[in-house]
Structure 1
Amino acid sequence: MDTVKHILQRKGYLVYSVCPDTSVYEALEILEEKNLGSLVVVEDDGKLHGIFTERDYSRKVILKGRSSKETLVRDIMTESPVFVTPETEINDCMKLMTQKFIRHLPVLEHGKLVGLVSIGDLVNYIINQKDFIIENLEHYISS
């Protein structure tokens, strides 16, 4: 069965992060610059503390009339986010995202952050796998 590890091998292990004391404004600049929907929140020790998403910003800053330059990521991040491991099956990731209404899953291995998968990553992987299967079946039929 296909796992998160297969996705990370294709897309890479690069994860953009901020520390909890980063201003929301600075975090938003990174989201915009890198065209991301989330940033993981880590301390210097590399330990996952939370995740900061566009949803956190819209619900916890904009709707509450807060200032993004004065609010810290630690004040609005989602603490103890749902995470997966490289061995987690892709179908299980899809179930988690659907059940928890989330779009991003940090990937931890032995308690250390090693990647991040998004709903887009899962969809792209599944589409590519389906295309591969179709090509093989077409080749088999025409042989």
Structure 2
Amino acid sequence: MGTVRNILQAKGHAVYSINPDSSVFEALKILVDKNVGALMVVDDQGKFLGVFSERDYARRVILKGRASKETAIREIMTERPITVCENDSIEDCMVKMTDKRIRHLPVTDEQQRLIGLISIGDVVKFIIDEQRYIINNLESYISGTHT
């Protein structure tokens, strides 16, 4: 099975982020504009602080009766989220996502700097593509067209 590195090579390392002092309303506009479900929270020095997701919004703003324009991201973000590194296996990512019921995994390097983000959709797509490749090779082998 592949690694996180394989996913990042295919999709790129681009990550949408927001400053912790920004309002939840600003973050929601970015989520809609970029059509993503989470933003990485990064301070002015580029330090990775946490994650803001649609789930955070639902649970910590809407259900608590807070105002999106007056609430800062730092007040409701998920701090110290579960992360992965480029060498982690796709299988390990699936286990973490399933066990912890999360849909996004920040990818960090040895110094805990943010270098990417993978979603459950990225993981499922990788697994489907890998299985399709294996099936095609097996079919070619069985039919005698394998080179």
TM range (shorter): over 0.9
Q: Deviations over 1:54-101 (max 9, x none)?
A: 000001000011000000000000001100000011110111111111
1: CA distance, partners of 2:20 / 2:99: 27
The code of the aligned residue for 1:78 comes to T
The offset of 1:134, in angstroms, is 0.6
Question: Number of matched residues?
Answer: 143
Matched residue SS, 1:52: strand
Moved over 3 A (4+): none
Check if 1:101 corresponds to 2:97.
Answer: no
TM-score (normalised: structure 2): 0.95
The code of the aligned residue for 1:14 comes to A
The code of the aligned residue for 2:20 comes to P
TM-score (normalised: structure 1): 0.98
Matched residue SS, 2:8: helix
Q: Identity across aligned pairs (percent)?
A: 59
1: CA distance, partners of 2:126 / 2:118: 11
Give RMSD over aligned pairs. Answer: 0.7
> In structure 2, what is the equivalent of residue 117 of structure 1?
118
The code of the aligned residue for 2:92 comes to D
Runs of at least 5 residues in structure 1 that lack an aligned partner in the other structure: none
